[in-house]
Structure 1
């Protein structure tokens, strides 16, 4: 399979160290996508999950090794911690294995747009002022993801390859959750619109999007738990939302379709 090369890649909410991390899809993404600069936009290692149960399979270790290898081979990697790995924020401006830790950063695109890169929990009133509610919500979300993993396995067994996320489906059917996401976006934009930047790139709410709000660019990287998304900057400065599916799965599907066509 070919490897895509970008000027910049942003990924967030990997939740390494939890059972929700889609390690195989994430490793496949890292294998087939390179960039001059890579932003890790928070909730990379899930210390909340690790504090409840030690879970660190081999492929999670491989993810860390893969990222460190990219750094050694010249990729500029900036790690911006989130609320699930907030203890890393104590190491602002430290360098670990060629990876720079920053609480936030300003990225300038090739077209000259100045974009603030933050995880985004700083602008979430629940995460900031009602931590017990945030953790309770996280537990409920974890249950949804576990159910979703079972449903995904069943769909693979019966040959359904299209991506489906139960958590995302429920998210957009619950009015209060939809309103929360809308309020979150508006709070970010109102807070940062006069901060001397052209836009913001964040994660946190697990909903990938690129859009303009009142002339201000709002970009959310999504996650590698349910939707497996990333934001990339092409070498002409254009930003794109990428939804990733394992390349091996796509190749297998194409091979099966070709075989069925020939049989007919």
Structure 2
């Protein structure tokens, strides 16, 4: 991967501390870029999962060190905490070291377009169908990640590239598509009410970029199943980066984090 420089990069839903975090993939991406402004768009650390079972592999530590190194060496880092790292929300408006904490912020591209940036858990009340359905959805997602984990271990054993089985299954579930549509609409309505050109968010682990009623909606995805980021080049063009597409161009196959670390427990 050639060293690339970006005006801005957006990362969300890394979920450090979670067994499904693809920290090695993210490290490879970060080591091969430089960036003026790095937006951490929530759920960077999975405090929910860590309350259940503390897990912090060396690769997750290296991600944190890499971000801090970037913040100390010319990159402006803005952290917009989400629901899985909610305790950090109370520090919005403050700066810790060289990292700025905000709940939401407006980014202006090189072309002068204004985008609202926030995690997206603010729109949960517009999406949820009730506590019981939310619980069912949470358990269903855990199952999807379990299947995704073992499916890609099998692919790695067969010398095949990573592929998001969880993402594929989600795209074919009617209820999931309806929830994504509600979320997308809520976000665009919020940005439109503020008189902005678009919205950049995460939260639902579904990367996409499209126009909705005159508002540019962009979800930068996640590093649990899709391994994606949003990047802005120096001309102001916004595009989604998919790490699995990068892997396809490599001569060798990168194995999954669990195999690299020797943590093969389900």
TM (normalized to structure 1)? 0.89
Q: Secondary structure at the match of 1:35?
A: strand
Cα offsets for 1:226-258 (capped at 9, x unmatched): 01000000000000110014968844339xxxx
Structure 1 residue 37 corresponds to structure 2 residue 40? no
Contact 1:25 1:246 in 2 (8 A): no
Q: CA deviation at 1:146?
A: 2.5
Partner of 2:63: 63
Which residue of structure 2 lines up, in the alignment, with residue 109 of structure 1?
A: 109
Q: Quote the residue 2:192 is aligned against.
A: 193
Residues 135 and 30 (structure 1 numbering): CA distance in 2 closer, same or farther, change over 3 Å? farther
CA distance in 1, matches of 2:170, 2:157: 26
Shift of 1:130: 5.1
| Partner residue in 1 for 2:216 | 217
CA contact (8 A) 1:200 1:219 kept: yes
For 2:168 and 2:79, the matched residues in 1 are separated by 30
Larger CA Rg, structure 1 vs 2: 1
Find the aligned partners of 1:139 and 1:63 in 2 and give their Cα distance.
28
Aligned to 2:61, the other structure's residue is in SS state: helix
Corresponding residue number in structure 2 for 1:229: 228
- Verify: 1:238 aligned to 2:237, yes or no: yes
CA RMSD of aligned residues (A): 2.1
Residue pair 2:126, 2:183 contacting (<8 A) in 1 also = no
In the alignment, is the contact (CA less than 8 A) between 2:5 and 2:33 conserved in 1?
yes
Whole-angstrom distance in 2 between the partners of 1:186 and 1:197: 15
The 5-angstrom pairing of residues 241-260 of structure 1 reads: 241-245=240-244, 250-253=249-252
Show the counterpart of 1:82. 82
Structure 2 distance, partners of 1:2, 1:50, is 35
Q: TM-score, normalised by structure 2?
A: 0.88
Counterpart of 1:140 in structure 2 is 140
Partner of 1:175: 174
User: Retained in 1: the 8 A contact 2:148–2:166?
Assistant: yes
Distance 2:205 2:94 in 1: 27
Compared with structure 1, are the counterparts of its residues 248 and 218 closer, same or farther at alpha carbon in structure 2 (3 Å cutoff)?
closer
Preserved CA contact (<8 Å) 1:113 1:198: yes
Determine the C-alpha separation between the residues in 2 that align with 1:248 and 1:240: 18
